[in-house]
Amino acid sequence: MRVAAYAPGRVELLGNHTDYNQGVVLAAAIDRGLKVSGERRTDGLVALRSSSFGEFTIRQENFRPQTEPRWVNYILGVVQELIDANISIDDFSAEIDGNLPSGCGLSSSAALEVATALFLLKLFGAHLPPLEVAKLCQRSDHRFVGVQSGLLDQVTSIFGRAHHAVYFDARTEEVRTIPFPPELALVIGESGTKRELAGSLYNQRLEETRAAAAALGLVALRDITPGELAKRDLPSLLYRRAAHIVGENDRVQRALGLLAQNDGRGFGALLNESHESSRQNFENSSAELDLLVEVARSLPGVYGARLTGGGFGGATVTLCESSAAARVAEDLAQIYLQRTGIESRIFVCRIADGAR
């Protein structure tokens, strides 16, 4: 029996790096994703084939993180976590295909993990609740890939809903879908500079934000408001890292009211604030991301723009009027090419349903 599973990528709207600080996030599943399809086999092998990255074969008894090719770790890690959860996984073949670009901040790694988990659960007749699937994929990130990621990406890929943003509280694990105004649209702009979280400053930022919380005597940075933080004394680096996380949590909460009021300008202003904080306080932007944001903000019909995802390269998200979206995408691509020589993929993003 051949089975298949699909999981979308996600765009982070607000709440940058807040999930591993027990904070709140606003994101959305997008209309680009990855499909994993395949069947059982009986020769002792797990055989993987990606339309983008090639083929790989391994025996289960040889499972360990691979230095090359690294893309297989997102699959092997999920297999190992399912086995550790006492779910029987035998030999199988899997093919990976889709239209979600990798390494650009749209969470292709989480989409691959979620699609793999759902594929294997279906193939071997097992079941886990949706949030448990997300946590299992996160553990795979931690233990097999080496990235101490939060839970946002997997949660958004699983719980996404068409025409809705996903609100996620990483402390209480509350997940809510928030109607997204139809007169607003999102444009994704790839910077053309890929990021590699395991080898980047991602884990360092995690350590810095936890050090800031400890210095403030807090369980996590969500336990202090921007006004309270301004009165506290911290080393400059830790203060700036904390200011970003605390500000992002506040921006997410303010955004909920603005979306309910269909206030595109107000919501866009929060995106602008977020990017400036990423640039100055968290230092996870780049020259290319800054340029995409600067150009996008100059275009008619645009309300705001910011980097999306982990940063350190990757992509931006631009909030604009729906009627202007196609023109914004075209102009942004053309101007970015003229300024950098980089032919970037820039596209209008539809908010889509989650994994299936």
Which residues contact residue 36 at a Cβ distance below 8 angstroms, ignoring those fewer than 6 apart?
A: 4, 5, 6, 94, 95, 96, 112, 115, 116, 118, 119
* Helix locations, the chain, DSSP H: 73-84, 108-123, 130-140, 152-159, 202-215, 226-230, 236-260, 264-277, 287-297, 325-340
Which residues contact residue 21 at a Cβ distance below 8 angstroms, ignoring those fewer than 6 apart?
A: 150, 170, 209, 210, 213, 220, 221, 222, 245
Please answer whether residues 52 and 114 qualify as being in contact, where contact means their C-beta atoms are separated by less than 8 angstroms. no
The residues that bridge with 35 in the sheet, in sequence order, are: 6, 97
Instruction: Say whether 153 is catalytic.
Output: yes
What does the block give as tokens for 84? 């550790």
Instruction: For tokens 């709207």, name the residue.
Output: 13
DSSP per residue over 142-160, as a string? IIII-----SHHHHHHHH-
189-198 b/e (C-beta count within 10 Å ≥ 16 → b): bbbbbebebb
139 three-class SS? helix
Distances (CA, A) of 54 to 76, 97, 109: 15, 11, 16
- Residue in 43, 84, 141, 153 annotated catalytic: 153
d(CA 161, CA 30): 9
Amino acid at position 278, single letter? S
What does the block give as tokens for 110? 């989480």
Write the DSSP symbol of residue 68: S
Known catalytic residues?
Answer: 153
